């Protein structure tokens, strides 16, 4: 099977459309959103309308389109994950918080799509069909105060009680968790069972015993909502157990849900690349405007070398990201490649932002309208943390490179 990263006409047009929107509309408002800790609903509603007119072109839901069969019955590879990566990079180049704030099922969508029953898919995705009057969000609630990247260590409990499940626990750092119509919440029937004891539930807003705790006051991505969720004797109906009880008779049900990360980690990597690229371009233009690099000045040569290294690392990260997305589109196992993309992109983009601030000096450390480097510097750190820290990515990579490693 050939590997071709030439963008299709649709992908190219989508990238150009998002770029144009970013330059003319998003970036001029980016700092105001950051200071207000929110993106206005009217803007998001207009963006949803634009996406609808483009056939859903801005939808940031990786893995949305499974491979379709052609006339001979053979599956035609999807391009959903690569297209999402291309769009995500460009939108994060404009403002990373905007991408995370888009209405829709968000990261809660992939586990329902992967393991949900037909009734669950129709019920929980159907509400997003028309958002012309009311915006709606879904969310993914896995992280806990004592169990973030250590997924096997979650302590939110669940027990069967008649036709309901009773959940108790606390989730933290949940993107759009407060305003979501539903959260996919992971819990365990017995912590000693590890992954075998895990269950995933769709907990709907307004469910008795389900409350929103604090909203986080973050260093970066401040316009994106990040919430704490509290479950105290929260009664969830049996039909909200993702996939139904039969799917958890082995580890397969939970492991299938966890494959969400194989789709979303390339998406997060693409976002990191977008922010890193924005910082690189800012520093590049600053150097062009203030230095004559053709002059034989050692300091100028060092500046050129630093810029070249940033560009090289971001391009390498992009190729890893597109490859991981391409594998997902072709239904080829990509856990190792997804983790490689996430690990490399996060670090490369962080280095790009640090180098850009150092190159620009005082000009790069002050927040002014249309001078966003200081904001990107704050925004980028989390990309080495969420969706699995860099350390976790290296463990995943090592496990798949060396089969004699113990099971983590």
Based on the domain organization, do 90 and 183 belong to the same domain?
no
Amino acid 24: pLDDT = 95
Is residue 46, in this structure, part of any structural domain at all? yes
Based on the domain organization, do 233 and 139 belong to the same domain?
yes
Is residue 214, in this structure, part of any structural domain at all? yes
Is residue 4, in this structure, part of any structural domain at all? no
Is residue 177, in this structure, part of any structural domain at all? yes
Structure tokens at 10: 């649709």
Amino acid 379: pLDDT = 96
Per the confidence metrics, is the pTM higher than 0.85?
A: yes
Q: Measured between alpha carbons, how far is residue 70 from residues 78, 220, 332 in Å?
A: 12, 45, 19
| Distance (Å, whole) CA 146 – CA 143 | 8
Q: Give the number of C-alpha atoms closer than 13 A to the C-alpha of residue 59, restricted to the C-beta side.
A: 18
Based on the domain organization, do 182 and 314 belong to the same domain?
no
Query: Which one of 211, 227, 253 terminates a domain?
Result: 253
Based on the domain organization, do 249 and 269 belong to the same domain?
no
Is residue 120, in this structure, part of any structural domain at all? no
Query: Which one of 55, 85, 115 terminates a domain?
Result: 115
Q: Are strands 164-175 and 157-161 parallel, antiparallel or unpaired?
A: antiparallel
CA neighbor of 42 nearest in space, from 135, 171, 122: 135
Based on the domain organization, do 17 and 85 belong to the same domain?
yes
Amino acid 367: pLDDT = 61
Beta bridge partners of 237: 164
Amino acid 401: pLDDT = 82
Is residue 332, in this structure, part of any structural domain at all? yes
Based on the domain organization, do 265 and 395 belong to the same domain?
yes
For residue 220, the enclosing domain spans 134-253
Is residue 129, in this structure, part of any structural domain at all? no
Based on the domain organization, do 275 and 391 belong to the same domain?
yes
Is residue 128, in this structure, part of any structural domain at all? no
State how many domains the chain has.
Answer: 3
Q: Are strands 164-175 and 226-237 parallel, antiparallel or unpaired?
A: antiparallel
Condensed to tens digits (0 to 9), the pLDDT of residues 147-189 reads 666 777 789 999 999 999 999 999 999 999 999 999 999 999 9
Residue 351 CA to its chain's centroid (Å): 20
Based on the domain organization, do 279 and 394 belong to the same domain?
yes
DSSP-assigned letter for residue 123? H
Residue ranges in the chain modelled with pLDDT below 50: 57, 63-72, 407-408
Q: Which residues are part of the catalytic machinery?
A: 387
Based on the domain organization, do 163 and 269 belong to the same domain?
no
Based on the domain organization, do 162 and 229 belong to the same domain?
yes
- DSSP assignment of 318-380 equals HHHHHHHHHHHHTT---HHHHHHHHHHHHHHHHHHHHHHHHHHGGGGSS-BTTB-HHHHHHHG
User: Exposed, middle or buried: residue 240 (CB in 10 Å: 0-12, 13-18, 19+)?
Assistant: buried
Based on the domain organization, do 290 and 330 belong to the same domain?
yes
| Distance (Å, whole) CA 282 – CA 272 | 16
CA neighbor of 91 nearest in space, from 218, 268, 320, 285: 268
For position 204, which CATH number holds?
A: 2.40.110.10
Amino acid 299: pLDDT = 77
Query: Which one of 232, 253, 274 terminates a domain?
Result: 253
- DSSP assignment of 46-110 equals HHHHHHHHTTSTT---TT-SPPEE-TTSPEEPP-HHHHHHHHHHHHHHH-HHHHHH-SBSGGGHH
For position 28, which CATH number holds?
A: 1.10.540
For position 363, which CATH number holds?
A: 1.20.140.10
Based on the domain organization, do 249 and 266 belong to the same domain?
no
Amino acid 61: pLDDT = 53
């Amino acid at each position: 099977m050939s590997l071709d990263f030439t963008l299709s006409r649709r992908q190219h047009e989508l990238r150009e459309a998002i770029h144009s929107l970013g330059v003319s509309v998003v970036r001029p408002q980016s700092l105001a959103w950051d200071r207000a800790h929110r993106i206005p609903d009217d803007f998001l509603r207009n963006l949803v309308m634009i996406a609808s007119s483009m056939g859903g072109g801005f939808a940031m839901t990786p893995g949305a389109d499974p491979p379709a069969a052609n006339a001979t019955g053979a599956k035609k590879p999807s391009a959903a994950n690569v297209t999402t990566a291309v769009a995500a990079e460009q939108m994060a180049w404009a403002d990373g918080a905007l991408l995370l704030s888009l209405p829709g099922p968000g990261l809660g969508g992939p586990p329902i799509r992967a393991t949900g029953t037909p009734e669950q898919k129709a019920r929980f995705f159907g509400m997003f069909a028309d958002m012309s009057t009311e915006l709606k969000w879904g969310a993914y609630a896995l992280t806990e105060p004592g169990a973030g990247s250590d997924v096997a260590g979650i302590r939110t409990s669940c027990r069967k009680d008649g036709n309901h499940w009773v959940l108790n626990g606390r989730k933290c750092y949940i993107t759009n968790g407060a305003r979501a119509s539903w959260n996919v919440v992971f819990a365990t029937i017995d912590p000693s069972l590890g992954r075998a004891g895990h269950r995933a539930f769709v907990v709907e807003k307004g469910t008795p015993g389900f409350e929103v705790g604090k909203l986080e006051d973050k260093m970066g991505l401040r316009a994106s909502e990040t919430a704490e969720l509290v479950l105290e004797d929260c009664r969830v109906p049996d039909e909200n157990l993702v996939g139904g009880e039969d799917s958890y008779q082995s580890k397969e049900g939970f492991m299938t849900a966890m494959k969400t990360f194989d789709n979303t980690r390339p998406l997060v990597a693409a976002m990191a690349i977008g922010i890193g690229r924005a910082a690189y371009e800012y520093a590049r233009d600053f150097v062009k405007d203030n230095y004559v690099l053709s002059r034989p000045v050692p300091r100028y040569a060092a500046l050129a070398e630093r810029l070249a290294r940033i560009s090289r690392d971001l391009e390498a990260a992009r190729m890893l990201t597109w490859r991981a997305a391409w594998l997902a589109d072709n239904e080829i196992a990509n856990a190792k490649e997804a983790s490689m993309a996430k690990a490399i992109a996060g670090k490369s983009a962080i280095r790009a932002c640090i180098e850009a601030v150092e190159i620009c000096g005082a000009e790069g450390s002050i927040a002014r309208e249309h001078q966003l480097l200081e904001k990107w510097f704050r925004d980028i750190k989390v990309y080495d943390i969420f969706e699995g820290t860099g350390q976790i990515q290296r463990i995943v990579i090592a496990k798949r490179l060396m089969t004699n490693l113990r099971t983590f």
